[in-house]
Amino acid sequence: MNSNRTVIRASGITKIYREGTADFRALSDVDLEIRAGELTLLMGPSGSGKTTLLSILGCILRATNGSLEVLGESVEKLAEAELPRIRRAAIGFVFQGFNLFPALTTVENVALALDVRGVKRREAETRAAELIREVGLAEKSKSYPADLSGGQKQRVAIARALAGDPPIILADEPTAALDSTSGKNVIELLRRLAHEDGRAVVMVTHDPRVLSYGDRIIHLEDGRIVGEETRREFEEIAAAAAMA
């Protein structure tokens, strides 16, 4: 994949929720570019709009105002029925709660993402088994989610997100429910997807353990981007803070 090309371009993104007669502004005028080959962290306190922004970037929620381009295609002009096509073609999701299907085995969970894309069952299961191997869970391919640890579940979820070979991975607090070792394994896996596979990985987090892994860190507060640092800048700030 072509590293550093822009895969998502958002400008002036505003999201207003109507709650009864009152309006709640979840995002205000957000400008953002997501590039291939980078692990971008979206950070901010609860209620800052991180998940809303991730939903909009993932084309499962529409912005009230602003424009969004995914792989060069303008999303806001597309009909609602077109959005699943964009998601299938461009985006893989990783959820904090894993969102695996408890009735399906590990391989079947991954194969389901291919089934949604119209891939024949046998081919889907072969590809799913490869992905399960790639995330290091070959021996668990026939296990059900209930028999996996949190870290293993999240690796299955990542394999599922990769099933359609999407150039963009959107992860919502993927380490929040994991212990430190599992969390480290997952974040390293996501970083590898960005750096080695050239995918754009966007990760919502407020887990300070993962800060050092991000290529870019975007800070959100009250629905606005209030700061952005590269990893080098972050490391310099961290070093200065340590010296002080």
Partner 1 sequence: MGLLARRNLFHDKVRFAVTLTGIVFALVLIIIQFGLFLGFTTTTSNNIDHSNADVWIVFHGVGYFDTGRTFSERKFYQVLAVPGVAQAEKYMQAFARWKRPDGRIENIQIIGVRPGSEMGQPWNVVSGSAAELKEEDAILVDEVYREKLGVQKIGDRVEIGGHRARVAGFTRGIRSFTTSPFVYASFKSSLDYTNPTSNEADVGYILVKAAPGISVETLKKNLSERLSDVDLYTTAEFSRKTRFYWMFTTGAGLAVLTAALMGLIVGVAVVAQTIYAATVDHIREYGTLKAMGATNSYLYRVLIEQAVWSATLGYALAMIVAHFIVAGSEKGGAVILMPMEMKIGMFFLAVLMCIAAAIVSINKVTRIDPAMVFRG
- Which residues of this protein are in contact with partner 1, per CB under 8 A? 51-52, 54-55, 58, 60-61, 81, 84-89, 91, 93, 95-97, 99, 101-104, 108, 112-113, 115-117, 121, 160, 164, 172-173, 176-177
Residue 84 CB, shortest distance to partner 1, in Å, is 5
Tell me how long the chain is: 244
Q: Minimum CB separation from partner 1 for residue 103, in Å?
A: 3
User: Which tokens is 218 given?
Assistant: 């975007």
Which residue, 85 or 209, has its beta carbon nearer to partner 1?
85
Instruction: For residue 52, give the 3-state DSSP assignment.
Output: helix
Nearer to partner 1, 125 or 229 (CB): 125
CB of 52 to partner 1, least distance (A): 7
Q: How far is the CB of 172 from partner 1 (least distance, A)?
A: 5
**Distant-in-sequence, close-in-space partners of 184: CB < 8 Å, separation ≥ 6:** 209
Cβ(59)–Cβ(91) below 8 Å:
yes
Least spacing, CB of residue 192 vs partner 1, in Å = 22
Query: End-to-end alpha-carbon separation of the chain, Å?
Result: 41
- Our CB check for partner 1 shows the closer of 173 and 229 to be 173
Q: Which is nearer to partner 1, 172 or 229 (CB)?
A: 172
∠ at Cα 217 (213, 219), nearest 5°?
Answer: 140
What is the DSSP track for 179-232?
Answer: -HHHHHHHHHHHHHHHHTT--EEEEEE--GGGGGG-SEEEEEETTEEEEEEEHH
Q: Which is nearer to partner 1, 17 or 139 (CB)?
A: 17
Closest separation in Å from C-beta 60 to partner 1: 4
- What burial letters (b/e) apply to 150-162, b meaning 16+ CB within 10 Å? bbbbbbbbbbbbb
φ, ψ (nearest 5 deg) of residue 134: -60, -30
Residue with smaller CB distance to partner 1, 88 or 219: 88
